[in-house]
């Protein structure tokens, strides 16, 4: 029986039978991810086909020299393909009220930043916009992308999930809770940055505002945290 790496090499060379075998072998993984997106207006079979497309993209992009397991690498590719369709197709909608609030918050933050020459705090934005901190957080969370864990974080095209290794992620598919021990071992500020940036999916600007530090400091803390996590994993 051909192993996964052998099938991947063959598939990259144009072997359609190898592609079909990889899809069949990974079908349970695809369905486990599909189930997380049910009830959003798209049929399960259509979501499965999108998942298969994500798997094929994972096959093309997989680099065995990095030491990651293929199924672990494939998870964010599969879920990302489904998310992209749902977002672009308009199935996941953001209300006009939240969009208007987000624009109001962004404009207010830019004005205060220029006036104060620092990142404004939530209370300062709240005082001017008349929105509560909870309303501000809700508007900002609703209008940011939800796939931050899959963003490329270096020139080699690696994502945060690639850098953190594969142990436990395969078994729990999208449950990144397997990273908790390494994250909890980080210094407090680095831990907060990672949680806000990659689990709450906030931008560096939003993270800086919540932590009451500059965006440059957030960037430095983020890089330091990722380096520490690489050492621990």
What CATH number is given to the structural domain containing 135? 1.10.10.10
As a whole number, mean pLDDT of residues 159-174 equals 45
Q: Residue 12: which residues within 8 A CB-CB, separation 6 or more?
A: 59, 60
Q: Identify the pLDDT of residue 227.
A: 82
Structural domain range at position 102:
96-141
Domain end: 81, 114, 141, which one? 141
pLDDT grade for 161, boundaries at 50, 70 and 90: low
7 shares its domain with 61: yes
Helices 122-129 and 204-211, packing angle to 10 deg:
100
CA geometry: angle 189, 215, 118, nearest 5 deg? 110
Q: Identify the pLDDT of residue 192.
A: 84
85 shares its domain with 102: no
| pLDDT > 90 fraction of the chain, expressed in percent and rounded | 5
110 shares its domain with 86: no
**Contact predicate 112/120, CB 8 Å:** yes
Whole-model pTM over 0.85:
no
| Dihedral pair phi/psi, residue 157, rounded to 5° | 85, 10
1 shares its domain with 45: yes
2 shares its domain with 53: yes
Mean pLDDT in the chain?
76
203 shares its domain with 128: no
Spatial distance between the Cα atoms of 59 and 61, rounded to a whole number of angstroms: 6
9 shares its domain with 83: yes
Q: What is the CATH number of the domain that holds 53?
A: 1.20.120.1810
pLDDT grade for 91, boundaries at 50, 70 and 90: very low
State pLDDT tens for residues 17-76.
888 889 999 999 999 999 888 877 778 888 899 999 999 988 988 888 877 788 888 888
pLDDT grade for 141, boundaries at 50, 70 and 90: low
Instruction: With a cut of 50, say whether residue 171 has pLDDT above it.
Output: no
Q: Identify the pLDDT of residue 232.
A: 64
78 shares its domain with 57: yes
78 shares its domain with 3: yes
| Dihedral pair phi/psi, residue 97, rounded to 5° | -60, -45
**Contact predicate 125/105, CB 8 Å:** yes
What single DSSP character describes residue 143? T
31 shares its domain with 83: yes
As a whole number, mean pLDDT of residues 119-127 equals 83
113 shares its domain with 87: no
137 shares its domain with 210: no
Name the one residue in this structure whose structure tokens are 């998310």.
83
What does the block give as tokens for 49?
Answer: 């086909």
Number of domain units in the chain:
3
Domain end: 61, 77, 93, which one? 93
Q: What is the CATH number of the domain that holds 223?
A: 1.20.140.160
């Amino acid at each position: 029986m051909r192993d996964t790496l052998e099938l991947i090499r063959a598939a990259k060379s144009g072997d359609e039978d190898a592609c079909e075998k990889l899809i069949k072998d990974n079908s349970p993984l695809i369905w486990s991810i599909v189930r997380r997106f049910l009830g959003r207006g798209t049929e399960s079979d259509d979501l499965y086909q999108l998942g298969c497309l994500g798997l094929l993209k994972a096959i093309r992009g997989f680099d065995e020299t990095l030491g990651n397991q293929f199924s672990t690498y494939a998870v964010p590719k599969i879920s990302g393909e489904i998310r992209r369709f749902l977002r672009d197709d308009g199935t996941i909608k953001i209300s006009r009220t939240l969009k208007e609030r987000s624009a109001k918050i962004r404009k207010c933050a830019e004005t205060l930043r220029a006036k104060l020459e620092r990142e404004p705090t939530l209370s300062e934005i709240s005082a001017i916009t008349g929105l509560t901190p909870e309303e501000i957080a809700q508007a900002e969370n609703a209008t940011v992308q939800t796939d931050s864990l899959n963003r490329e974080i270096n020139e080699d095209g690696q994502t945060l999930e690639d850098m953190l290794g594969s142990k436990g992620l395969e078994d729990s598919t999208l449950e990144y809770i397997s990273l908790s021990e390494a994250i909890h071992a980080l210094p407090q500020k680095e831990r907060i940055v990672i949680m806000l940036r990659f689990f709450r999916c906030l931008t560096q600007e939003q993270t800086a505002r919540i932590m009451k530090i500059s965006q440059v400091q957030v960037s430095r803390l983020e890089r330091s945290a990722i380096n520490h996590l690489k050492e621990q994993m």
